[in-house]
Amino acid sequence: MEEPLDPILIQVTIPLPIGMIHAALLDPERLRHWLCDEATVEPRVGGGYALRWTGTPAFESQGTITHLTPDVDLGFGWQAPPPFVTLMNEPSPKTAVYVRLQESPEGIDVTLEHTGWGGSPPWEEARSWHFHFWDDRLQRLKDYLIRDAYG
């Protein structure tokens, strides 16, 4: 049995109030500005966290919220895009995303952890794709919120 890969761990610091950042994780309109093309969110543990992308590759992640503490954290199940559907989503989603907000001297540290990776070469490819995806999206989150706050 191969050893599972380490979780993806990415952090960005955003110099804005924690409430603004947490709202950008839950509000479908705000999610469209940095994460996806469409979103449906039921902001409660057990609620849906559905994200849709219409670009290339077009895909949908029908997650369920697993953790939700106002101004602290958000966790949700993740469904991967093609070409990782068979590996990661069948027979059921195997990975999860957890975002934690924490005050720091420079602002709010936003830490994203994506867990549940297998240990084979196909998993390495999937993990690499997701690392770049999340790294890009967290930077988009920071840019969007700063632009929204300061114009």
Q: What is the span of the domain harbouring residue 134?
A: 8-113+127-146
Return phi, psi of residue 87, to 5°: -65, -45
Report yes or no on 74 lying in a domain: yes
Task: Tell me the one-letter amino acid at 113.
Answer: E
pLDDT tens string, the chain, 151 residues long: the values are 689 999 999 999 999 999 999 999 999 999 999 999 999 999 999 999 999 999 888 999 999 999 999 999 999 999 999 999 999 998 787 899 999 999 999 999 999 999 999 999 999 999 999 999 999 999 999 999 999 999 8
Read off the pTM: 0.95
What is the tally of structural domains in the chain? 1
Report yes or no on 56 lying in a domain: yes
Nearest alpha carbon to residue 125 among 5, 10, 35, 11: 5
- Position 43 scores a pLDDT of 98
Report yes or no on 97 lying in a domain: yes
CATH code of residue 35: 3.30.530.20
